[in-house]
A = this chain, B = another copy of it.
């Protein structure tokens, strides 16, 4: 990832967790943040390579991206006398990365952060790009920072322990990126078994994300492309039962041309993702109004008229509502 003085390496390699000590500077105090659902072996493997470590395990799910848990991480570092030269390491999925990353961004106004994603979702998407945050009052990512990791280690071997639903959840973001930015990757996903070729899909997705972030680190323009499916997706997500990627899958449907949608649906199905709306349309619409991406009266959305050609469009609330109603009645 080339971002001037904030540049960093992303290493994709089976078994890389075992040699983290040779790639990261672990000769200092390391706060390892992990999740209760993440196999303990991964954080212990990293801990064994640190000079001095402290493991904090948080409950799975978005509810851990909260003020109390954020404060708890800061307090853990403070009570163990962490200083500017120490570091935070995330071992887990996107929730862990967002939470640990925001603690790293804020403690002493920013210390080193390493991200070691262990889910498809975080490996293809959220582990790189530097967006870190917590939630407040049910609104996702409303308090956070742009804070780039010093290095990202991606070990596809960790996906072996992941439940199928979590794999599908992550594939949604890969489909999303191919759809807006890489027709060849989209075709590859149409014609190949997804899990057999997960390494190629991770690498292909990361290349798209890297190119976008390099051109627009702080989401002033182009980076908004990555929000394809997220405007409505976050609204669906806030109502409860579905995972992030499942919501993104559903959220992409209203933003496509008919031709794109006809190709998108089979790929989503192959990835094990939902393609029809089984949620309370009014509740989702209301939640969207509170979402940070919804401006007053009008907002930017990402649409795809042709595979690989996503674009940012400013629409009124009424125009979005029309897309919303049309898509979910149709599918």
A residues near B (Cβ < 8 Å) are 67, 71, 74-75, 78-79, 81, 83-85, 105-110, 131, 133, 136-137, 139, 141-146, 218, 290, 292, 295-296
Known: A137-B78, A139-B78. A144 touches B106 (CB 8 A): yes
Closest to A290 in B: B81
Indicate if the CB atoms of A67 and B78 lie closer than 8 Å. no
Chain A interface SS verdict (over half): mixed
A83 CB contact (under 8 Å) in B75, B141, B295:
B295
Copies of the polypeptide in the assembly: 2
Chain B residues contacting A146 (CB-CB under 8 Å) are 109-110
Beyond A105-B145, A106-B106, A108-B142: 15 further Cβ-contacts under 8 Å? A67-B67, A78-B136, A78-B137, A78-B142, A81-B296, A83-B296, A84-B292, A85-B295, A106-B143, A106-B144, A107-B143, A108-B144, A109-B133, A109-B146, A110-B146
Q: Pull 9 A–B residue pairs with CB atoms less than 8 Å apart, ordered by A.
A: A75-B136, A78-B139, A83-B296, A84-B292, A85-B295, A105-B145, A106-B144, A109-B131, A109-B146
Chain B residues, CB < 8 A from A142: 74, 78, 107-108
A73's nearest neighbour on chain B, judged by CB, is: B143
Residues of B within 8 A of A139 (CB): 78
Residues of B near A137 (CB, < 8 A) are 75, 78-79
